[in-house]
Amino acid sequence: MADTILVYKKGDIICKEGDYELWFYEVLSGSLTIYTNYGTEKQQEIGKVNGGFVGEMGFINSMTRIGTAVADDDVTLAKIDEDTFSSYFEEHPEKIYSILKCVSARLGEIDANTNEAYNTIKDLLEAYDSKKETGGALKGKMSKFRDVFKSRK
């Protein structure tokens, strides 16, 4: 089965935050940036993709898009949906490692972020229990996690 190839220009929106779409993309060339609250005051960049896959988490989990994907330059994508998923990886078995690397990287990233947040909580509990003020470095870390919470409310 032939791949569905899509071409986007710089600034084009590939998919929108909150949309429900049962497909994902392999980035064949170019790069794109993922934003939350794109085009608003609260816009925040949450990742860049210049190879590998995008939208695979939404496809696998049947979830809405977690961000808006915008082309940074001319971008060429292969679209993979429910009908083409099996045949795509049968025809391109070398891509299996790529997609697993992609989801593995997401898992590693979320694991690392969670550990850092937990360690920050442990540090602030220590300050709380010993009735000490939270120092500048700890406050900086706390602000980072507060900003994450605010951006995802």
Partner 1 sequence: MGPKITEYKKGEVIFVEGSVDEAIYEIAYGEVGIVRNYNRASEVELGSVREGYFGENGLGEGVRRNATAVANEDTGVIRLDAAAMKDYFAEYPVKLDILLQDVSARIRSTDKKYLQACEYIARYMAAEEEGASQDPQLIADMKALVQ
Quick check: 117 binds partner 1 (CB under 8 A)? Answer: yes
Give me 92's structure tokens.
């391109």
Number of residues lying near partner 1 (CB under 8 A): 44
Nearest-approach distance from CB 4 to partner 1, in angstroms: 20
Contact (CB, 8 A) for 127 and 121: no
Nearest-approach distance from CB 28 to partner 1, in angstroms: 20
Contact (CB, 8 A) for 6 and 77: yes
The set of residues, in sequence order, having a beta carbon less than 8 Å from that of 76 and lying 6+ positions away, is 5, 6, 7, 8, 27, 28, 29, 30
Quick check: 148 binds partner 1 (CB under 8 A)? Answer: yes
Quick check: 113 binds partner 1 (CB under 8 A)? Answer: yes
CB atoms under 10 Å from CB of 77, counted, come to 25
Nearest-approach distance from CB 81 to partner 1, in angstroms: 14
What is the C-alpha to C-alpha distance for residues 94 and 26, in angstroms, rounded to an integer?
A: 13
> Does residue 126 sit in helix, strand or coil?
helix
Tell which one of 5, 22, 60, 74 touches partner 1 (CB under 8 A): 60
Tell which one of 10, 39, 105, 140 touches partner 1 (CB under 8 A): 105
Quick check: 46 binds partner 1 (CB under 8 A)? Answer: no
Quick check: 126 binds partner 1 (CB under 8 A)? Answer: no
Contact (CB, 8 A) for 78 and 55: no
Give the interface with partner 1 as residue ranges (CB under 8 A): 56-57, 60-61, 85-86, 89-90, 93-94, 96-97, 99-101, 103-108, 110-115, 117-118, 120-122, 124-125, 128, 134, 142-143, 145-146, 148-150, 152
